[in-house]
Structure formats: C-alpha cells, structure tokens
Copies of this chain bind each other. A is one copy, B any other.
C-alpha cells in the first residue's frame, strides 16, 4: 500500500440554524486547518446533506483565516442548511450509494454533521456506511439546536443564546408594561419557540428573579384556560401588570396547539401561527385587560448580537472536539457538554455514542416546572443561569454588526448529475 493519503472532510449544517452554529463551523474548520498534516480540505455541503447528494460542495480552503474566524460571531448557517432526513438504507439505498460515490470522488473520509435530533439520525446512518456499504467513513455529529432537546449532553449549543435573548427581551418588555400599566397595557405576551420541549419558554421564567410577575406556558403542561386566567388576574391585581411567555408548542388537553384555534382569515383560509395573539385575546375576553403581544420567531434564534458567551464558547468547542475525536479514530459519536458544577459553573467536553442520541427528545423534567405549572423551580434556574452567562458581542461597523458572508466557491464536479427524490 502506498503512503497513506490524507483524507478530506465533509462538514454540513442541518435543520433550523442558530446564533452560534457558525461558531461550531469555525471550530471544525480551524481545528482541521491546525491539523493539515492529517486532514486535507474541509468541503462544506451547500445546504446541508443536499450538498453531498448533489455534489454541490464548497471548498472552505478558499476562505481566508479572517473570514473563517469571523464565522465565530456570525449567526445562521454560512453554507446553507436544509430540512432533509435520509431514509433508511432499505427505503432509499440509492441515496447512500450516491453519498459514497461523492465521498469517494472527493477523497472524503470524515463526515461532520452539525444539527439536532433528526440530523443525529442522518449522521448515525452515515456512520454505519463502513459496515453496511463497505465505505470507510468516520461520522461525528456536532450538536446544535435552540430547542435544547438532545439527550445525554447537558445542554445544546444554540440554546444558551436563545435563552439569553428570551430572558433579556422578556425583562425589557416587562419594564415597558410596568411603565404603561396604570392607564394602558397590563399584560404582555411573548411567544417563543419550542414545539415539543419548553426549554426556551423556561428561560423567560428567569425574569422572576428580577422582580417581574411572569407566567410561563410550557408544551409539557396541558393548557387550562381557567387556571391560566386566574393566575394572570392574581398577578395583575397584586403587581398591576404581568408578562406571559408562551411556547409555540403550548396545547390543549386534546393535543391541538393554542395557535390552531380554528382562526380563519377573511377568505376563510386557516390562519397560520400565533399562540401569542390567541393567549392575548383570551386575557382580553376573560379579564378585560389591555394587552400587547410579540412573536419573536427567527429573531430569537438569529440574535447573535445578544449571544451568550458561554454558548458561543461551547459551540466552538464541540466543533473543535468533533475533529479531535475523528483524529482519534472515533466514529458514530457526538461531543457533549458535561456539567461538573452549577456555581461556579464548570463543564468539560465529553462524548456520547450516536445511537443513544438519534431520535430521542429531552423534555423539561417535571421538577423544573413549579407545581402550578406556570413557572420554573429553583432547580431549573440553577440549570439555566450558567448557560446565559457572559456577553460575546460581534464587531460593529457604521452601527451594524459585521457578519461573515463567505465566498462559498464550489468544488468542481466530477460526477454525473443526481436527481433528488421529491
């Protein structure tokens, strides 16, 4: 056998992006560059795994060190993301064969996939290609999700920043309502992400420590309108105002989301989205209080300007750790954050087997939610507080943050076109 050739790496971003997923990309690419003797080029998939399937690879070696460094403070996915889950090998063998063709054509031996639960599943399937299809590959999953719902890891990069955004925004808006409550708005409703798990909504509960009366509505707790209105009324009577943080996944006992209350527009079309206006209108109808509501949507997960320093740091570290794990010969694993202590906050980067990560969601434990279902416990606060610690401001120019837009130069194609399955 000839002298061992350096293998190239494939990196892709998957699913909903975050304020710090590019920090993980930065960690992967900078660590690979620091190990040039063992890793060739890092090819990024344009729009996630689709870039691999369609041989649409980005040559990250064309980007300057400064451009890659700037990824650390740039929100969203610099190479494009996708919502696409590989089917099982049995159901769509053609896709796996194609992946191998692309990997072989471009000398790819490392597969770094940066995503949440669905992506962990895709990454796990790829990690099995050595066994199932005879192509030698090491696949490492880099954790990312604002939903904080991956198992084993103490937290998921992306979550700390959205938690900080939600806590800070809810606090600021609460100060606003408090100012206005005498003659105007008494209840402010903020809708946040989290279709299944209430971690993001929970972050809103942190404002209680700043003296704000707050009601949190979790997806983990069946919504009870009567109890909810009673709680709001009690808080407004006592404090003059209150803030409600509602998860988009908040639902009635029958499973229907609050946001799907049969609302129709003028043309009779079902009106999409918006748990906040539904909750706000309930408050108006039931209690007569003037309200305001906001839906943060993408603003919350893109808000790099108020990212958590802890989160940005961990996002970088799991990217760097993924490359180091690969160099140590690992396959089918995911770097994790292992908490050592709450206060002072200490953690180390650990590792989890991917088959234990894929397709498992981590919900809020019951002891993180108060007995009445409307707030977070001290145990939850102890968990959350370290994750929003520290500010990590981007650089600004002319009043605007300086975020990286990469050149994203395509790697010349070597294979025939591949038709994606619809």
Contacts and interface: CB of A to CB of B under 8 A. Distances in A.
B269 A285 contact: yes
Interface in A160-215: 164, 167-169, 171-173, 175-184, 188, 190, 206, 209-211
Which of A262, A278, A296 lies at the interface centre, i.e. has the most chain B CB atoms within 10 A of its CB?
A296
Interface string A304-317: 11101000000000
Interface in A267-317: 267, 269, 271-274, 276-278, 280-281, 284-285, 292-299, 301-306, 308
Interface string A52-76: 0000000000000000000000111
A76 to B, nearest CB: 4
Contacts of A273: 277, 293
Number of copies: 2
A266 interface: yes
Interface stretch (A27-35, A223-231, A362-370, A384-392): A384-392
Given A81-B180, A184-B83, A396 B403 contact: no
Interface in A2-20: 13, 16-17, 19
A211 B299 contact: no
Interface of A: 13, 16-17, 19, 46-48, 50, 74-78, 80-84, 164, 167-169, 171-173, 175-184, 188, 190, 206, 209-211, 261-267, 269, 271-274, 276-278, 280-281, 284-285, 292-299, 301-306, 308, 385, 388-391, 393, 396, 398-401, 403, 405
27 contacts: A75-B172, A75-B175, A76-B175, A81-B182, A82-B182, A83-B180, A168-B400, A169-B299, A169-B303, A172-B298, A172-B305, A173-B297, A173-B299, A177-B298, A188-B298, A210-B400, A210-B403, A263-B264, A263-B271, A269-B281, A271-B281, A273-B293, A293-B295, A294-B295, A385-B398, A385-B399, A390-B399
